[in-house]
Structure 1
Amino acid sequence: MVPRLRSFIGTILIIILVITYALLATTFATLLLATSPWWVHFLYFLLSGMLWVLPAMLIIKWMAGPKPGK
């Protein structure tokens, strides 16, 4: 696959991932954590704020293409 096309598709996938993940994480927090103490909210948003990075790293790794020796 052409590297420019791979980068374009990866960029679109990351944008979709971030928007979808933000909506789901916020909806989950609003529905289930409404009466929780402040530290539960803090821990939830701390963890959920870092969790989206894992699938984004996979997309970025795919965007980089195969390693030069293969």
Structure 2
Amino acid sequence: MPVRLRKFIGTILIVVLVLLYALLANTIAVATLGESSWWVHLLYFSVTGLVWVLPAMLIIKWMAGPRQK
């Protein structure tokens, strides 16, 4: 697969990932953290704000293609 096509598909995947992940994380927060204290909210949104990076890294590695020798 050409590199330009990989990058285009990867960019679309990352945008979709971020949108779906934000929707899911906020839906879970609204459903479960309604009466929680401020530090629980801070902890939850700090963790969920960083976790999306893991699947995004995999997409970016795939976009870069196989390692050149």
Q: TM-score, normalised by structure 1?
A: 0.98
Per-residue CA shift, 1:18-59, capped at 9, x if unaligned? 000000000000000001000000000000000000000000
Partner of residue 49, structure 2: 49
Partner of residue 18, structure 1: 18
- The CA deviation at 1:63 is 0.1
- The CA deviation at 1:62 is 0.2
Gap regions ≥5 residues in structure 2: none
Gap regions ≥5 residues in structure 1: none
Partner of residue 63, structure 2: 63
Amino acid at match of 1:62: W
Give the count of matched residue pairs.
69
Question: Identity of aligned pairs, percent?
Answer: 65
Amino acid at match of 1:64: A
Moved over 6 A (4+): none
Partner of residue 38, structure 1: 38
